[in-house]
Amino acid sequence: MPAGPRPPGAAGARFALPWVRGCAGVLVTLVLAGCERESIRVYQAPKETAPQRQAMSTPFESRVPQIHWKLPAGWQELPAGQMRVGQFAVSGQGEQKAEVTIIPLPGLAGGDLDNVNRWRAQVGLPPVKAEELPKLVEDVQVGGQAGSQLYDFVGTPYDRSETNRLLVAVFRAEGTAWFFKMLGDSALVAAQKPAFVEFLKNVTFEQGAPHPPIAAAAPPDAPSPPGGGDGGSGKPTWTVPAGWQEQAPGPMQTAKFSAPDPAGGKAEITVVVLPGDAGGTLANVNRWRGQIGLAPVGEAELNQLLTPFEVAGAQAVHLDMTAEGAKRRLVAAVVSRGGNTWFYKLVGDEAVVGKQKEAFLQFVRNIKYGS
């Protein structure tokens, strides 16, 4: 610090210029060196192997067998990506197209009923009950082993006029569930079914090889209807109630808000849109009940929980559940619109959810959906 006595004879502005120049030089060098982060870098890198790539970036890595296949005639192999370890395009007469995907997921990857109803929704079919499941399953060989399930659904998806057909084979081994799917124009998929079954039979698994990368981006079965199109799932416009703070949404979430209470405690609001009925209201309600520590309910009790309410141009219900012991409360609204289901959920401390309930329902009622 420039403290201390003033020496005699130093009153004039005698400036030691070399000092100043020196300091300025150091500063300019530092700033220029710091700017390097902003420039394009060119470097040589060793060739990257697949295991290296995956270990670095994916939080969902796990070791599962690697798969090999024999490409059927007429199938075109596409680069693997997202969660898919194999991907193929199949073209038929005229504009007919189908897509084959192979997705491995760790664990059991959901119950059969939820999966089946999600697949049915993709081809516009209504959900089925658990007791109907066995009637839908065909037996198929995967990798030379019998006993895997094959499902075959035909229907018209909500956003298309043509009939689509979906074949799904599920093979579970070594803690991994493998999903083989063929989705496309009905006639083409019907013609390709023998090739698909033959393909399944001929796949081979290699033990202990690392799993290719799985991105956190898409839900395992994010529907990708050929031809795309907005199925009414575009982000709607809404007015965020006072006191809600927008948060970065998690995977699969369209939006997320937090509603902290000045008196302590907090609640969270999430918006999720899923195609079809997303496994049915009962399955979802029971999942939410589990989240706040309540026991599941049956179909009859479910109807007592649901209250229909007014939303412009759509069917909507809401429900309100409280876990007395844990003092947790959950208010949810389910809006079915344009082939999609919108799930709005307010969950948190009992008192805070109580205070926010009206604002939440008002928020849901006033949402304007795109075309």
Partner 1 sequence: MGLKHLVRVLCSLRLTVVCLALGMILVFVGTLAQVEIGIYAAQAKYFRSFFVYWTPPGTTLNLPIMPGGYLIGGVLLVNLVAAHAKRFGLARNKTGLLLVHAGLILLLVGQLATDLLQVESAMRISEGEARQYSEDQRFSELAIIDTTAADRDQVVAIPESLLARKQDIRHPNLPFAVRVHQYWVNSTNVPHGGAAGAVRATEGLGKRVQFAEAAPTARMDMRNMPTAYVEFLPASGSLGTWLVSDWIDTPQTFTHDKRTYQVALRLARYYKPFSLQLLKFSHDKYMGTEIPKNFSSRVRLQHPETREDREVLIYMNNPLRYGGETFYQAGYDEKDPRVTILQVVRNPGWLTPYFSCSLVGAGLLIQFLTHLVGFVKRRTE
Q: Which range in 3-11, 134-142, 181-189, 295-303 contacts partner 1 by CB under 8 A?
A: 3-11
Residue 238 DSSP one-character state:
-
Q: Which range in 31-39, 137-145, 312-320, 329-337 contacts partner 1 by CB under 8 A?
A: 31-39
Which positions from 82 through 121 interact with partner 1, judged by CB under 8 A? 82
CA–CA gap between residue 300 and residue 277 (Å, rounded): 19
β-bridge pairing 75-78 and 145-155? unpaired
CA–CA gap between residue 248 and residue 48 (Å, rounded): 32
Structure tokens at 109: 């990857």
- Within 10 angstroms of residue 297's Cβ, the number of other Cβ atoms is 16
For partner 1, the closer CB: 38 or 206: 38
Which positions from 11 through 30 interact with partner 1, judged by CB under 8 A? 13-16, 19-20, 23, 26-27, 30
To partner 1, the closest distance from the beta carbon of 256 in angstroms equals 10
215 near partner 1 (CB under 8 A): yes
242 near partner 1 (CB under 8 A): no
Q: Answer yes or no: are the C-beta atoms of 333 and 297 closer than 8 Å.
A: no
Burial (CB count <10 Å: 0-12, 13-18, 19+), residue 7:
exposed
How many residues line the site for partner 1 (CB under 8 A)? 79
Q: Which range in 133-141, 168-176, 251-259, 311-319 contacts partner 1 by CB under 8 A?
A: 251-259
What three-state secondary structure class fits 212?
coil
252 near partner 1 (CB under 8 A): yes
For partner 1, the closer CB: 127 or 231: 231
For partner 1, the closer CB: 120 or 329: 120
Which positions from 116 through 175 interact with partner 1, judged by CB under 8 A? 159
CA–CA gap between residue 350 and residue 131 (Å, rounded): 37
Q: For residue 106, which phi and psi values (nearest 5 degrees)?
A: -65, 150
Angle between helices 281-291 and 112-122 (to 10 degrees): 130
304 near partner 1 (CB under 8 A): no
For partner 1, the closer CB: 208 or 298: 208
Which positions from 50 through 89 interact with partner 1, judged by CB under 8 A? 51-62, 79-82
